[in-house]
């Protein structure tokens, strides 16, 4: 694994916008000199490294499914801040094995040892368009003789064919609260993969979904019944909404309700309980840092690196935010590796149960947040 420099393609902005990354100008806070999509640098991996990472990611995925089984069997919903009224429905969703599509592991990796799990974005992961589509076309334009860890698109299409969903169109739901367009483009891309798999689809805003109390069903603006829906809208928001009690019992949602267990950072502590000392895990506890001298406190339901606190013998570093009401997990802290002063976090995609590809975000800080930039990667041919 190494970081290399290159010359951006002429007109790269229009190129990536035409490939779906229309939100790249708005994906960053104002005032940053570095663009969100940065093809002036990229990372290079060997095939052996990628093969090893694929095996580790699929093992982590299996471990997470075992952790979900443990949480349901032991009734540990309070550790995940699941409302009491929803706990039984989460259990039922798991016991039914409600269908699931994809997720993204965030990993610490420097090329010299096993990857370390930082968190699992199992409910509403983004950076999908740039991982699946945009960096693939960059590879074809700039390094056509090399490969890339990227079968995301093909696996998504195949996964849609595998899913057993109710008859009728599958709705694809985004939220009108999305100010950058990232969520709308992600949902549109996933809708396209479903259509390529032969599924009938239609788009809808979450805010436009209605509850037909007489017939006890969700409907869209045309009064069509919503039998199945992909939603880029986290379950903790749905459970807090007025229609949350109906949502857990009606319609097939992707991602399913049981993914609320895997998208919650309490998962990190449960994994450490079940697999203490595992080479792909960092120590993590729900009741405090215990004997950790360096740790990071992460809100159970935080996003974009907000409301975190890094504690080391050298001091304390915090990020602003309003998360944390539900509690925190305390995870052993190992700084992301530094490559020329930039720290990459590897976003490893899982589609169904298979490792599917890689997206890399990097930042100069200790915590990857909304100021990070996405950079492409390639696999060097021997």
pLDDT tens readout for residues 245-254: 999 999 999 9
Model confidence, pTM: 0.96
Residue 275 forms part of a structural domain: no
Confidence of residue 379 (pLDDT cuts 50, 70, 90): very high
The answer on 134 and 117 residing in a single domain is: yes
Residue 217 forms part of a structural domain: yes
Residue 269 forms part of a structural domain: no
Evaluate if residue 205 carries a pLDDT over 90: yes
- Provide the pLDDT for residue 177: 85
The model's pLDDT over 351-365, given as tens digits with 9 standing for 90+, comes to: 999 999 999 999 988
- Provide the pLDDT for residue 346: 98
The answer on 247 and 103 residing in a single domain is: yes
- Provide the pLDDT for residue 115: 98
Percent of the chain with pLDDT over 90: 87
Residue 128 forms part of a structural domain: yes
Where a domain ends, among 315, 332, 349? 332
The answer on 170 and 115 residing in a single domain is: yes
The model's pLDDT over 260-284, given as tens digits with 9 standing for 90+, comes to: 999 999 999 999 999 999 999 999 9
The model's pLDDT over 290-349, given as tens digits with 9 standing for 90+, comes to: 999 999 999 999 888 889 999 999 999 998 888 989 999 999 999 999 999 999 999 999
The answer on 167 and 42 residing in a single domain is: yes
Residue 81 forms part of a structural domain: yes
Residue 180 forms part of a structural domain: yes
Residue 270 forms part of a structural domain: no
Percent of the chain with pLDDT over 70: 100
The answer on 112 and 98 residing in a single domain is: yes
The answer on 320 and 177 residing in a single domain is: no
For residues 13-17, average pLDDT: 96
- Provide the pLDDT for residue 369: 80
The model's pLDDT over 62-87, given as tens digits with 9 standing for 90+, comes to: 999 999 999 999 999 999 999 999 99
The answer on 98 and 241 residing in a single domain is: yes
The answer on 68 and 137 residing in a single domain is: yes
Evaluate if residue 28 carries a pLDDT over 80: no
The answer on 170 and 247 residing in a single domain is: yes
For residues 135-151, average pLDDT: 98
For residues 126-133, average pLDDT: 96
Instruction: Count structural domains, the chain.
Output: 2
The answer on 314 and 196 residing in a single domain is: no
For residues 173-197, average pLDDT: 92
- Provide the pLDDT for residue 367: 85
Evaluate if residue 27 carries a pLDDT over 80: no
Domain that holds residue 351: 2-264+337-379
- Provide the pLDDT for residue 26: 80
The answer on 305 and 163 residing in a single domain is: no
Residue 277 forms part of a structural domain: no
Where a domain ends, among 332, 350, 367? 332
- Provide the pLDDT for residue 188: 96
Taking each helix axis from N to C end, the angle separating 152-162 and 182-196, rounded to the nearest 10 degrees, works out to 60
The answer on 362 and 319 residing in a single domain is: no
- Provide the pLDDT for residue 366: 86
């Amino acid at each position: 694994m190494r970081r290399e420099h290159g010359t951006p393609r002429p007109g790269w902005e229009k190129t990536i916008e035409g490939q779906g990354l229309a939100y790249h100008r708005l994906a960053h806070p104002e005032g940053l000199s570095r663009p969100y999509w940065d093809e002036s640098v990229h990372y290079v991996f060997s095939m052996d490294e990628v093969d090893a990472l694929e095996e580790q990611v699929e093992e982590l995925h299996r471990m997470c499914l075992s952790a979900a089984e443990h949480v349901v069997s032991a009734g540990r919903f309070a550790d995940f801040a699941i409302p009491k009224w929803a706990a039984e429905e989460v259990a039922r969703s798991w016991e039914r094995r409600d269908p699931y599509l994809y997720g993204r592991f965030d990993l610490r990796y420097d090329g010299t040892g096993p990857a370390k799990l930082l968190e699992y974005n199992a409910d509403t992961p983004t950076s999908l368009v740039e991982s699946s589509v945009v960096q693939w076309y960059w590879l074809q334009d700039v390094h056509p003789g090399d490969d890339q860890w990227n079968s995301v698109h093909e696996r998504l299409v195949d996964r849609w064919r595998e899913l057993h969903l109710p008859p009728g169109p599958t709705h694809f739901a985004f939220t009108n609260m999305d100010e950058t367009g990232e969520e709308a483009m992600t949902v549109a891309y996933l809708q396209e993969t479903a259509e390529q798999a032969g599924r009938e689809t239609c788009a809808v805003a979450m805010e436009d979904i209605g509850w037909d109390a007489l017939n006890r069903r969700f409907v869209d603006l045309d009064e069509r019944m919503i039998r199945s829906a992909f939603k880029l809208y986290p379950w903790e928001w749905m459970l807090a909404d007025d229609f949350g009690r109906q949502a857990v019992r009606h319609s097939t949602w992707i991602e399913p309700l049981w993914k609320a267990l895997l998208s919650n950072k309490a998962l990190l502590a449960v994994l450490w309980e079940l697999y203490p000392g595992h080479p792909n895990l960092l120590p993590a506890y729900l009741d405090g840092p215990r004997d950790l001298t360096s740790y990071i406190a992460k809100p159970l339901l935080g996003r974009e690196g907000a409301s975190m606190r890094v504690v080391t013998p050298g001091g304390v570093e915090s990020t602003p935010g309003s998360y944390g009401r539900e509690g925190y997990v305390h995870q052993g802290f190992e700084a992301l590796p530094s490559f020329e002063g930039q720290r990459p976090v590897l976003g490893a995609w899982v589609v169904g149960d298979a490792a599917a590809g890689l997206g890399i975000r990097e930042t100069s800080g200790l915590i990857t947040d909304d100021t990070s930039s996405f950079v492409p990667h390639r696999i060097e041919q021997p």
